[in-house]
Amino acid sequence: MAYKHISIPTSGEKITIKNGKLHVPDEPIVGYVEGDGIGPDITKASLRVWDTAVEQAYGGKRKIHWCELYMGEKAATIYDGNYFPQETLDALKDLIVSIKGPLTTPVGGGFRSLNVALRQELDLYACVRPVRYYAGVPSPMRHPEKVDAVIFRENTEDVYSGIEFKSGTPENRKVAKFLREEMGANFFEDAGLGIKPVSAFGTKRLVRKAIQYAIDQGRESVTLVHKGNIMKFTEGAFRNWGYELAREEFPEQTITEDQLYSVYGGVRPEGKIIIKDRIADIIFQLMQLRPEEFDILATLNLNGDYLSDSVAAEVGGVGIAPGANIADFVAVFEATHGTAPKYANLDKVNPSSLLLSGVMMLEYMGWKEAADLINAAFPKVVADKTVTYDFARQMEGATEVSTSGFGDCLIAKIKGHATDLVQEEEHRRAILEEERKELEAQRVADPTQAMEESGRIPQTVGAIMHPVIIVKPDELVSICMQKMREQNRHAVLVEPDPSNDKWGIMTQRDVVKKIISANRSPTRVRVGEIASRPVLMVPRGTTLLDASSRMVEANIRRIVVESDGLPVGIFSDTDLFRTVEEFGWGSDI
């Protein structure tokens, strides 16, 4: 492709797509747009850091060949007043992977914003925002280090589609009339109106990307965030299509959270990704209280907009948060802040947002070792308190350095301590892994409690059952009583015996009725004699509604959960009560 002002480096090769995967040569050509205002300062500093990390990680075997592309004010000077040249768009597609600084929105340029135009032109439908903590960064949280999530926000649909009708206009009146007269809708006079389109296509391509990312990066779960309890056909549909996509396209790599409890007893099978969902408002709370439970979050446009900034604030990173907008393959990584024009060309601001977007870019290219080096060097520099003005004003005893000075400090760390830095990054990941294992142990020990705390809404009996105590029929009642007390259980299951091939149950009530009030000794009676048989058994996947109906019909208080004919758990009316009290029921949820 011939370009007028862009010169594609003659050394280096283009990134391509082969067999549906990104193919990155050892010396790829990567595009960059330096951006307006503070853009040139932060770009210059970051380019040096990225190059050093690549050089150190691969000992010169890999190298990025940078290709400058133009947008914004610099483009306007080169392309005769055009802020958004077609050839830049062509090059972004052609090179596939690029990174950009912030851009000023030209006044009267006919754009809502250059960034929005870019997303629309390249159909960059996934806005990806990783949020993790770097030691030393000022944060309002007690344990910000537990946050390590990546938010995939749908970028093209939802209430951001721009289908709005201003109050008092003829268009508004026309739509209002249609809604009232033909659809039976009821709303106040003169309401402004907006439409919220959410499609299966838009949802599935976003969720597909989130799941693929989780697979590629060895993550544990993908959470579908929605407000489906209220907006069933948009937000609820997002959740349903998300699960459907996982079932249809990733059946081998994923399990649902429901299966995690009902089939796997709370233990994640090695390598499987758990697909779960959470109500949007609850996720804000959970990301503060139990962030270690969440990994990849897939959200609609509006929810994701709020959530990305809120979670970034937890790690002190609104000003340094990295980001990217990605299509099927074409990806534009970018600083998430603006052009801060008052600091332009002062070599003063913090380059971290762009710098860490570059880390994402390296990961996207599969160059994890280079990304790890920067990830590990960054907290070291912050811990030394050699930081730009914005951090310096929040830290006691900090030494303020310039944008380029901050880059120099990073480069020195990367060059001086490459091996240690990689080990430290691995250590950080191992700690997070440990925390997730602890959560797993909690899920196994007390699933209902684990669900309560993790905001999950249980749907099946497998999700609310407790582990069972199984005893032989010739066991003494006194021994069983001791086991029940020690393990805080109200019942034991009694194995079938030769005279009776049915499983039995002995509850606390049986002991009161058949031993104590009958004035018998628990040290003389065998449990098989007083057990009630048969017990009602249902499969793990039985819904709570079906289970409660069975309980009422049979006039019993406990049901045993089976798998392949063997009891694996038990639940009582108390568990059902507690579940509904905690999570709501029917139209409440």
- Cβ proximity to ligand NAP: between 102 and 291 the closer is 102
Stretch that binds ligand NAP, among 98-106, 125-133, 261-269, 498-506 (CB under 6 A): 98-106
Among 9, 236, 338, 467, contact with ligand NAP (rule: CB under 6 A): 338
- Cβ proximity to ligand NAP: between 350 and 386 the closer is 350
Q: At closest approach, how far in Å is the CB of 342 from ligand NAP?
A: 6
Q: At closest approach, how far in Å is the CB of 359 from ligand NAP?
A: 16
Which one is catalytic: 14, 74, 100, 227? Answer: 227
Tell me which residue of 435, 514, 366 sits closest to 15, measured CA to CA: 366
Among 340, 411, 477, 531, contact with ligand NAP (rule: CB under 6 A): 340
- Nearest-angstrom CA–CA distance, 562 and 185: 48
Whether residue 235 contacts residue 311, with contact meaning beta carbons closer than 8 Å, is answered with no
| Binding to ligand NAP in span 109-138, by CB under 6 A | 115
Q: At closest approach, how far in Å is the CB of 320 from ligand NAP?
A: 8
Return the residue matching tokens 């890999």. Answer: 62
Stretch that binds ligand NAP, among 306-314, 330-338, 514-522, 534-542 (CB under 6 A): 330-338
Whether residue 521 contacts residue 588, with contact meaning beta carbons closer than 8 Å, is answered with no
Among 319, 447, 473, 569, contact with ligand NAP (rule: CB under 6 A): 319
Q: At closest approach, how far in Å is the CB of 41 from ligand NAP?
A: 9
Is 514 annotated as catalytic? no
| Binding to ligand NAP in span 187-226, by CB under 6 A | none
- Nearest-angstrom CA–CA distance, 460 and 520: 39
- Nearest-angstrom CA–CA distance, 275 and 277: 7
- Cβ proximity to ligand NAP: between 287 and 324 the closer is 324
How many contiguous H segments (helices) and E segments (strands) does the chain have? Answer: 21, 24
Q: Dihedral sign, CA of 522, 523, 526, 527? A: positive
Stretch that binds ligand NAP, among 161-169, 216-224, 280-288, 331-339 (CB under 6 A): 331-339
- Cβ proximity to ligand NAP: between 38 and 315 the closer is 38
Q: At closest approach, how far in Å is the CB of 318 from ligand NAP?
A: 9
Among 12, 102, 136, 358, contact with ligand NAP (rule: CB under 6 A): 102
- Cβ proximity to ligand NAP: between 319 and 462 the closer is 319
Q: Would you give the end-to-end CA distance of the chain in angstroms?
A: 55
**3-class secondary-structure state, position 405:** helix
Stretch that binds ligand NAP, among 97-105, 163-171, 176-184, 234-242 (CB under 6 A): 97-105
**3-class secondary-structure state, position 341:** helix
Among 223, 339, 459, 579, contact with ligand NAP (rule: CB under 6 A): 339
Beta strands 126-132 and 491-494, pairing class: unpaired
Cβ-closest position to ligand NAP? 338
- Nearest-angstrom CA–CA distance, 354 and 351: 6
- Nearest-angstrom CA–CA distance, 39 and 100: 8
563 binds ligand NAP (CB under 6 A): no
- CB neighbourhood size of 377 (10 A): 28
> What H or E segment, with its residue span, contains residue 16?
strand 16-18
Stretch that binds ligand NAP, among 102-110, 239-247, 494-502, 509-517 (CB under 6 A): 102-110
- Nearest-angstrom CA–CA distance, 560 and 535: 7
User: Burial of 359 by CB count in 10 Å (0-12 exposed, 13-18 middle, 19+ buried)?
Assistant: buried
Is 281 annotated as catalytic? yes
> What H or E segment, with its residue span, contains residue 154?
strand 148-154
Q: At closest approach, how far in Å is the CB of 312 from ligand NAP?
A: 13
Q: At closest approach, how far in Å is the CB of 276 from ligand NAP?
A: 31
| Binding to ligand NAP in span 344-403, by CB under 6 A | 349-350, 353, 390
Beta strands 566-572 and 558-563, pairing class: antiparallel
Is 415 annotated as catalytic? no
- Cβ proximity to ligand NAP: between 37 and 447 the closer is 37
- Cβ proximity to ligand NAP: between 41 and 295 the closer is 41
Return the residue matching tokens 């990174």. Answer: 99
104 binds ligand NAP (CB under 6 A): yes
Q: At closest approach, how far in Å is the CB of 103 from ligand NAP?
A: 4
- Cβ proximity to ligand NAP: between 28 and 317 the closer is 317
Query: How big is the chain by its Cα radius of gyration, in Å?
Result: 29
Query: Which backbone phi and psi does 222 adopt, to 5 degrees?
Result: -125, 125
105 binds ligand NAP (CB under 6 A): yes
- Nearest-angstrom CA–CA distance, 282 and 223: 12
Q: Which residues contact 484 (CB under 8 A, 6 or more apart)?
A: 469, 490, 491, 492, 508
The answer to whether the peptide bond before residue 322 is cis (omega within 30 degrees of 0) is no
- Nearest-angstrom CA–CA distance, 361 and 580: 45
Q: Which residues contact 37 (CB under 8 A, 6 or more apart)?
A: 102, 104, 338, 339, 340, 341, 343, 344
| Binding to ligand NAP in span 21-40, by CB under 6 A | 38
Q: At closest approach, how far in Å is the CB of 39 from ligand NAP?
A: 8
Is 216 annotated as catalytic? no
- Cβ proximity to ligand NAP: between 223 and 339 the closer is 339
Q: At closest approach, how far in Å is the CB of 422 from ligand NAP?
A: 27
Beta strands 97-100 and 28-33, pairing class: parallel
Stretch that binds ligand NAP, among 80-88, 101-109, 251-259, 263-271 (CB under 6 A): 101-109
Which one is catalytic: 305, 347, 510, 575? Answer: 305
* Residues near ligand NAP, by CB under 6 A: 38, 102-105, 115, 319, 334, 337-340, 349-350, 353, 390
The residues carrying an active-site annotation are 160, 227, 281, 305
